Each structure stands twice: as C-alpha cells, then as structure tokens.
Structure 1
Amino acid sequence: MSHPSTGVEIRELASPGELHELTRVFDDVWHPDPGRRPVSADMLRALSHAGNYVAGAFVGDRLAGGSVGFYAAPAGTTLHSHITGASRIGRGHNVGHALKLHQRDWARSRGLRSITWTFDPLVARNAYFTIAELGAVPVAYYRDFYGELSDELAGADERDRLLVTWPVDAPEPEPTTETVDDVLATGARLIIELDDDRPRVVTDIPVGDTLLIPVPRDIEAMRRSRPVAASHWRLAVRDALTPVFATNGTMLTHRTRFLRSGHYVVEPIDR
C-alpha cells in the first residue's frame, strides 16, 4: 500500500532482519531501557508468523515507522493495535495516519469489525489524532494500565490509558473549527481549574452536564521539566474521566470529542 502524496509505503514485515529493524524504530520513539523494549524481535516474529498484524512504513528505502496488532476478543471481530510509532525519519510524512489506514484495510479484508487500542489521555496530539481525525470512540478508562515501565516519554508517571474502539466502516469525521468558547456557550462546564498553578477537579457538577476537560499542551515536555506538575495533571484528568467511563465500555453513557485547543468535550448520550 503506497501513499504517493506523502512518499510513504506500508507493507507487512516478516523477516528477522526487518523485525529487528522495527524494534530499533520503536527504540527511537520511546527511548526505553535496553532490557525493557515495548516489544521484542522474537515476539514480533511470533506474532507475524501466527497471522497477526505487523507492518512497517517506509520513506524511500528506510523504515520510518511501524504498527503491531493482534486478534482480540470477541474472536473473529476485533484487532487490538498494541503499538504504533514513527521515528524522526518519518516526521512530516503523516506516517501514523498512513499506518492506521493500512491497519483498517487489513482488518476489513479479514472480516473484522473494529480495531481497539489504548493511548495516554494526557497526550493532546494523540487524543486529537485518535478522536478528531480518525473518529475512534473512547469506551473505557484504565488506571495505571501497564504498571511500572521505563521509557523516556512517560518518565515516572503512572500509565493511565484511555481505550478506544474504531469501527472499520466508520465514516471519516468532518473537520471542525469548534472552540472552547463555542462549547461553553452551549452550557458546558469546565471541570478542571487551576489553583495556584495546580489543576483540580471542581466538585459541584450537576448530573447531565456537558463537561469540558483540558489537558496540557505538551505533557511530555512537562514530565521532563516539571514532573510534579505533570503528576498533578494525571490525577486531575483521572478524577475527571474515571466517572465518565465507570461502566468500562459495557454501556456507553457519553459521547467524547476532542478539540484542537486540547480539551475533551464529554456529552451525555441521552441529551
């Protein structure tokens, strides 16, 4: 699968050499401890051999990104995308978007109905890409999903994750210019406030309100320069989002959007 406009070619990977190269790409993205890579070459080989999704994105003849997924429950319906990343070589080529479209086509061609994955709800660019650009639907919030890991991007922060599902036949979302002021004008409530530069969740939120939940513009930079402040944001966003997804995806009670300004908009479905 090629994307001439971006110069990106996506293809499945299977040979040991390619899979070792893919682990190096992931190292370039996450900078993990050498003994705690996100996924090892031997695991990639096993996943690929068993018919799961292991793909690489090439810019010219250089591997610039990749994505790994595996079949998930319910059997025969779902692909779980475990990891997707683009190295510095892939910047400016929309590698992440190209990989997701290839992954969707792969899943659809095998009769699957949806793709799931998790992402850090504090990373604004990932939230915007996942929710606003792809149209994936948040369905569950997990506290410290992975437990203790060691990579440069997350630092010492806990690994909370937002689980999304992306129907393979979902229409492409319409671009929106919606702003924070537009949302507030509808009666939405901003539920995280800054108190002496420390975020806190307001407590007087009537049931049924549309909620506006900000996240930092660059939490990864904050984790490097102000790790205590980053931890406060983790706790505040956790407190704001956990009640929304209390059913863990068994019964969705809210629709979730994400604004370019870095705000979740969470609206009750019955409105």
Structure 2
Amino acid sequence: MTKTQEIIIRSLHRIEELEEVRKLECNIWGDTDSIPSHQTITAVKNGGLVLGAYCKDQLIGFQYSFPGFNGKSAYLCSHILGIDEQFRNKGIGEKLKLAQREEAIKLGYSLITWTYDPLESINGYLNIGKLGGVCSTYIANCYGEMEDLLNSGVPSDRFLVEWHIGKKETTDSRGRGIALDLVLVMENSLIQWDTIEKGLPVPSFTLGLPEPECDTAFVAIPKDFRTIRATNIQAANEWRMKSRDVFSDLFQQGWQVTDFIKDSTTEIPVQFYVLTKK
C-alpha cells in the first residue's frame, strides 16, 4: 500500500458484503471457525455493527461487533477485528476502531468492550496507549485451547478492555504514553527478563507487588510475542503464565491498566503496561 492509496471504511449491511468479510476472516485465521454471514447480518439488523476497510474496492480489513447487556445497561461488544496480512502495521486497525466509535455513538452506545491477548504489544499500544481503553479484568484461557493459525500452542488468556467512548479524554487518538525515565520503568517492572537466542526475551523472575503507598506499577511484555510463540513455545508459555499471575494479583488488589509505554530502542526487547489504582 502506498501513501496515495486511500483506505475507505464504511458500515456493511448486505449479505454479499458480509460474505466477503467471512472469506477474509478465513484467510486470516483459517476456515474452521469463521463466523457465518447469517449471524453477522442478524447482528447488524439488531444493534450490531460490521465495518469494512477497502483499498481500491478490495476488502482488506473488517471489524464485527454485537450488542451486549450486563443486566443494567447496554454496550457494544467488539468481537473481532482482522486485517489482510499484506496491509498490517499501516494504521488500518486504528482507523477501524475510530470509525467503530463514531458509529457506536450514532447507535446510542457509550461503552465498547472487547478482549485481546495482553502479550500482543501492537494491540496493547493501540487499545490502551492510543485509544484510551482501560482494563481491570483478566480472563485465563478465555476461549479454551485454540487451534487457529494465530493462537495455537498457548492458553488463550485475554484482557477485557473497556472503552468509554462518551468521555472526551478517551475519544481522540493522540497517544497517551507518559514521559517516564525508561531505566526507572525497567528496574521497577514487576516482570524481569533475560534475553535468549536472536535477542528474544524470556521472563526470569517477578518482583513483589507494589507497596500500598505506590500509585504506579509497570509490567513488561515482549515486543514480538508472535516470533517467540513461533520459535520457542516454552518461552511463550513462560510469558503467558508469569504475566497471568502478575496481572491477576494486581487486578485483585484494585489496580487497572491505564497506559502503555512503547519504546523503539532496538536493544530493549520488551514494552510496558502502566497500571494505576482505581
């Protein structure tokens, strides 16, 4: 994709469009568990939302949401977002999320929720650092043992993100990364790490939980978890279990994830979640 190629995002309503979405989903995750178009069109007709991202009339990304209800209020449950492999890391996911926010507000929603793998740093940076989502719920093995192309071999743990789209401070994509001393962050990360082959990080030990008077906590995750999972499944599972324990303990003590530190320093193989007390 070149700079001159414009990405168009629009809501999808026709069964033919939604069948294109299903086929793209199959290309990304495999065809064993794709969402049938009769399900997505039913959701669209009943408070749900499907967005398509197009480049030169080619569908290259999508986002699917359906209504949720917690017994007190309705919200939009953002279920799946996918980008064609050739168009990833070009900001299309962010464009889809911002369009989702606009359409959700039109439909009357003030909250969007979704889950994602907390070890996927690209998603963490987008969901927390740029969009302004927060998280205080950790779901261990959320979807059970997944055998698709992107998730096999590691428990499907997930963060549950809350995106309060009615609040101004969480509705512009300005990036909220805070200015901190990186050395201080590294030293105080609750997960410490060593580097192994190809410079990949593996968790070594964890620090104790913050003292009651502390107001900020940091947790390291790998910059490139997918490469770790593809080349060293043991290290991938060590990251999964260490981070599961740390985040679960923090959330139980009233902490929530509120920011993300993305560092581009090549020799530092991790990035960091920032947590604050509720």
TM-score by length of 1: 0.84
Moved more, 144-153 or 156-165: 144-153
CA distance in 2, matches of 1:201, 1:180: 22
Which stretch of structure 1 is more off in the superposition, 84-93 or 153-162?
Answer: 84-93
What is the identity, as a one-letter code, of the residue corresponding to 2:209?
I
Runs of 4+ in 1 over 6 A off after TM superposition: none
Q: How many residues align?
A: 257
For 1:55, the equivalent position in structure 2 comes to: 51
* CA distance 1:50–1:206, change in 2 (3 Å): closer
Query: What is the aligned partner in structure 2 of residue 141 from structure 1?
Result: 138
Alignment pair present for 1:263 and 2:260: no
- Equivalent in the alignment of 1:205: 209
Corresponding residue to 1:131 among 123, 128, 149: 128
- Asked if residue 154 in structure 1 is aligned to residue 146 in structure 2, the reply is no
Distance 2:225 2:195 in 1: 18
Task: Evaluate the alpha carbon distance shift between residue 196 and residue 89 of structure 1 in structure 2; reply closer, same or farther with a 3 A threshold.
Answer: closer
Residue 242 (structure 1) aligns with: 248
Deviation at 1:142, TM superposition (A): 0.5
Of residues 171-180 and 125-134 in structure 1, the stretch that sits farther from structure 2 once superposed is 171-180
Residue 133 of structure 1, CA deviation: 0.7
Instruction: Quote the Cα distance in structure 2 between the aligned partners of 1:11 and 1:195.
Output: 45
Q: 1:114 aligns with which of 111, 114, 124?
A: 111
Deviation at 1:92, TM superposition (A): 5.9
Q: Deviations over 1:192-216 (max 9, x none)?
A: 1236854144253343343221111
Q: Structure 1 17/145 Cα, relative in aligned 2: closer, same or farther at 3 Å? A: same
Partner SS for 1:29: helix
Contiguous gaps of at least 5 residues in structure 2: 197-201, 264-270
TM-score, normalised on structure 2?
Answer: 0.82
Distance in 1 of aligned mates of 2:74 and 2:146: 30
Gaps of 5+ in 1: none
Equivalent-residue separation in structure 2 for 1:111 and 1:65 (angstroms): 24
Identity of aligned residues (%): 28
* C-alpha contact (below 8 Å) 2:113/2:162 kept by paired residues: yes
State the Cα distance separating 1:175 from its structure 2 match.
4.8
Alpha carbons of structure 1 residues 180 and 158: separation in structure 2 relative to 1, 3 Å: farther
Distance 1:86 1:129 in 2: 14
For the aligned residue pairs, the C-alpha RMSD in angstroms reads 2.6
Structure 1 residues 175 and 212: alpha-carbon distance in aligned structure 2, compared to 1, 3 A threshold: closer
Please name the residue that 2:266 is paired with: none
